[in-house]
């Protein structure tokens, strides 16, 4: 049987959604920061592989 949240209670994902997605500026900041750090990690591993081979 599926649990139905009571009124006033929210799940973990709903709480995360409310914190990060409610404001466009917060969402855009996380998207840009994720893209920047993802690019840095990718660049690090590509240069590491080019040194090995």
In a domain, residue 1? The reply is no
What local confidence, expressed as pLDDT, does residue 51 receive?
Answer: 84
What local confidence, expressed as pLDDT, does residue 3 receive?
Answer: 64
What local confidence, expressed as pLDDT, does residue 38 receive?
Answer: 96
Number of structural domains (the chain) is 1
In a domain, residue 47? The reply is yes
In a domain, residue 39? The reply is yes
In a domain, residue 41? The reply is yes
Domain interval for residue 48: 12-52
In the predicted structure, residue 1 carries a pLDDT above the cut 60: no
Model pTM greater than 0.85? no
In a domain, residue 35? The reply is yes
Tell me the pLDDT tens digit for each residue of 2-52: 666 555 667 888 887 887 777 888 888 889 999 999 999 999 999 888 888
In a domain, residue 7? The reply is no
What local confidence, expressed as pLDDT, does residue 43 receive?
Answer: 94
C-alpha span between 14 and 36 (Å, rounded): 26
In a domain, residue 29? The reply is yes
């Amino acid at each position: 049987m599926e649990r139905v949240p009571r009124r006033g209670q929210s799940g973990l994902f709903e709480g995360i959604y409310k914190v990060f997605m409610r404001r466009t500026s917060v969402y855009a900041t996380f998207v840009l920061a994720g893209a920047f750090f993802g690019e840095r990690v990718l660049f690090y591993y590509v240069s590491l592989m080019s040194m090995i081979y």
